[in-house]
Amino acid sequence: MAFRFEWNPFADQPHNVAPRKERLRHHIRHGGTYFSLLAANLCQMRPVLALYRRYWRRMYQQEVKLGDPFGVSVSPEEGREEEILTLLREMNAQKALLRIPSWERENLDFYERFAKGLFSQGVKLTAALLQNREDVTDPQRWTSFLEEVFSRFNQVVDFFEIGHAWNRTKWGVWDYQEYLSLARPASVMAEKYQTKTVGPAVIDFEFHLYPPVLEKVSFDRISSLLYVDRMGAPENKQYGWNTSRKLALLKAIVDVVTHTNQRIWITEVNWPLKGTGKYSPASGKPNVSEEEQADFLVRYYILCLASGFVERIYWWQLVAPGYGLVDSRERPWRKRPSYQALKTLIVLLQERTFSGRVPHPEAELFSFTTGEKDLVVCWTTGPTLQHRFSREISRVLSRNGQELTKHENSVQIDGSPKYVFFK
């Protein structure tokens, strides 16, 4: 059954308009899908847990060449495309993700112009193809959308992410079989236009959905919308799993199911902001201050990238009042602390190599190197502490790239990451 689609333009997400009773009826009618879901996971449980333990033991113990893993999601705004490009250039962000909704086919000219503008500036573009309930109930509608998007965008888009956050009913998909009905024709279309796909775009810590999907559909990159905002800091645990453990588990699941060493992308993450009212995509606990958002952004990126399990991360998104790096409610647009934090992260860590985690009982210390130049990114999740390094410090930069006064070889470490360089 289809329902009138309602978009929340303030938080950039749909309203959940499908009646709860109808969703319940659907789940009862399709109860067999839960047995197949359970079977797919039980078959893989032992090898997955064995591989997870191996991955967890070696995590942060091996060198990882980062390359250029930094991405930012963007949405076009009429008349402000050049401003968006300027913001990307200023922060040296060379990878962007653009959402293309299936229900905005009449605006594809606008999306295409924006995509070509990004492409002309050397931005490597991924397009996330968004679905709603009508795409499930009317397969021809979805197939027609795919045909038009792949044919028009394949010259300027490197990857197409198939579907979006489909494990939330407000996005129109009510079980994994329905997602497969969207992903299969997309794979055929990608082969026709000789382009690459990303998926399955599962949101949050619902990794049980990967086995039944990846057994049926292949993707060139595996994607997760791995939010941890409801736990606060990225080091906090959910059911005993912090961000690092979640990554090791996801990598184990993907590798066991696909029988390959698959590359994983995080195609969406953010922390919504306090005081933004209707613009926040969440209410209550997930909302943090702008300073906390900037701290968590850096810590999340480093925890994920240094693991060696994540090839690329896209922050959602560049410009948004409730969670973006830039607040568009003000004129001129105001760059938040998180904008400066990500800009600094890109400048300092792009093309570096993670060389190891320095053991410390109370602080997180991650070492990176480029040739003979070494730096440590450090923070703590507990009380502020003073740490004395064994090597001579040349300079210390704040989370946002500001020069800090150094006291011989000692640095004050708190929840805001610092960059410590050595002679």
CATH number at residue 123: 3.20.20.80
The answer to whether the beta carbons of residues 325 and 318 sit under 8 Å apart is yes
- Check residue 25 and give its pLDDT: 73
Using a cut of 0.75, tell me whether the model's pTM lies above it: yes
Interatomic CA distance for residues 212 and 411, integer angstroms: 49
- Check residue 361 and give its pLDDT: 93
How many domains does the structure of the chain reveal? 2
Domain co-membership, 363 together with 340 = no
Domain housing 410 = 358-422
Interatomic CA distance for residues 65 and 406, integer angstroms: 29
Domain co-membership, 416 together with 397 = yes
Q: Is the pLDDT of residue 26 over 70?
A: no
Domain co-membership, 288 together with 399 = no
Q: What is the mean pLDDT of the chain?
A: 94
Q: What is the mean pLDDT of residues 374-380?
A: 97
Q: Which of 305, 324, 352 is the last residue of a domain?
A: 352
Cis geometry, peptide bond prior to residue 139 (ω within 30 degrees of 0): no
- Check residue 406 and give its pLDDT: 81
- Banded model confidence at residue 203, pLDDT cuts 50, 70, 90: very high
Domain co-membership, 61 together with 34 = yes
SS3 104: helix
Buried residues in 404-417 as b, exposed as e (16+ CB within 10 A): eeeeeeebebbbbb
